[in-house]
Amino acid sequence: MSERAAMNLSAPLPNPQALQQTRDARGVVRLTLNRPEVRNAFDEPLIALIHHTFTALAQDASVRVIVLDAVGSLFCAGADIGWMRRAAARDQQANLEDARAFAAMMHAIADCPHPVVARIQGAAYGGGVGLACAADIAIASEQALFSVSEARFGILPAVIGPYVVNTVGLRQARRLALTAAPVGAAEALAMGLVHQVVPAQDLDATVEATIAQLLNNGPQALTEIKRLLDQLEVGPITPAVRELTAQTISRVRSGSEARDGFAAFVAKQPAPWVPPASG
């Protein structure tokens, strides 16, 4: 049974206000980390809440885009110190279950069929960097700062490690994790940790422009893009890879969304999934 099928989406979760959720008429969902008193750090309830929320949204076809952001001056400080203290007092088996919950949360974000945009207004430490890497698109303000900081506490970025490697490459991931040194927004942009860096006053407009670009595209096509790219690796384009791509495009091209998209293009009209122009 899959994680999605196994999860009880109707079960109540503690502290639901730790992740605020809003949705607009376009199907754009905004998920806001809301623990400013601990710099939006993770604890067990927040991890469960993020996992639960992304799992539910993944099953909702009316969702078009998910924006992950945070209140306050920091994006996410990583692990809540209280969570880490509790983990240190537990045995290895309890720590394993705890780590599996965090890994499941990260996977729910990265595996979400809808595009996920991270709006990063300030510093991201440890698991906060993991959130940026798990998102499909990361947009940061010039004030943003990034640090894979786990080694400072005598631990390692194990769960977020694969997402960091996939985002910036092995050599950069090693430097980030081994030194735990903070990097500014410009350096994060240069290494591919984020896609855009803009002045703080332009952050919302830039995120909105990205949302508009995503909404112009077929929602099923975006899901197919994510699924296909997750199966591809840098390297030789083998017969198996060629067959995978041929099978994928033939299946998608014969579907109703493709027919609607091509018909709209020929008629010089917006595709049916494009939101009507405002104003």
> Which CATH entry fits the domain spanning 3-215: 3.90.226.10, 3.60.15.10, 1.10.1200.10, 1.10.3720.10?
3.90.226.10
User: Average pLDDT of the chain?
Assistant: 93
Tens-digit pLDDT profile for residues 153-176:
999 999 999 999 999 999 999 999
Tens-digit pLDDT profile for residues 90-130:
899 988 999 999 999 999 999 999 999 999 999 999 999 99
Q: Is 204 exposed, middle or buried (0-12, 13-18, 19+ CB in 10 A)?
A: middle
pLDDT value of position 15 = 73
Q: Is residue 147's pLDDT more than 60? A: yes
Q: Is residue 12's pLDDT more than 70? A: no
Q: Is residue 237's pLDDT more than 60? A: yes
* Spatial separation of the C-alpha atoms in residues 231 and 196, rounded to whole Å: 25
pLDDT value of position 277 = 81
pLDDT value of position 259 = 96
* Spatial separation of the C-alpha atoms in residues 276 and 278, rounded to whole Å: 6
> What are the structural domain ranges in the chain?
3-215, 219-266
**Which value, in Å, is the radius of gyration of the alpha carbons in the chain?**
20
Whole-model pTM?
0.93
Query: 255 and 218 in contact (C-beta within 8 Å)?
Result: no
